[in-house]
Amino acid sequence: MSIVLVGGHDRMHSEYERTCKQLGHKIKIFTQMKARFSKAIGCPDVLVIFTNTVSHKMVKAASIEAKRRNIPIVRCHTSSKCALENTIKNIQNTKAV
């Protein structure tokens, strides 16, 4: 499964990558808004937004792009490694059912 993570802390970038790799998924992480952000999102299986560490402008851009491309959005208030791990496991359980 390919995942795009929007938000989070810069210093946790490698931890987010390691967690996804251990669970067998590919991840693209955007902790800050870049030029052409909506184009860089691509077409992942799911978009995860850490709502407490991201700007409203970035959430709006990601949401618009996700709706345009029919990408499911999962919002998580905290931006910890455990929160990402639990979110991914919940997504896996939902898709398995």
How far is it, in rounded angstroms, from Cα 94 to Cα 23? 15
Please write the tens of the pLDDT for every residue from 47-88: 999 999 899 999 999 999 999 999 999 999 999 999 999 999
Mean pLDDT for 8-17 is 93
How far is it, in rounded angstroms, from Cα 45 to Cα 68? 14
In the chain, the domains with their CATH numbers are 2-96 (3.40.50.720)
Q: Which residue reads 């490698």 in tokens?
A: 14
Beta bridge partners of residue 46, listed in sequence order: 3
Q: In the chain, what are the helix, strand and coil shares in percent, each to the nearest 5?
A: 50, 20, 30
pLDDT at 95 (0 to 100)? 73
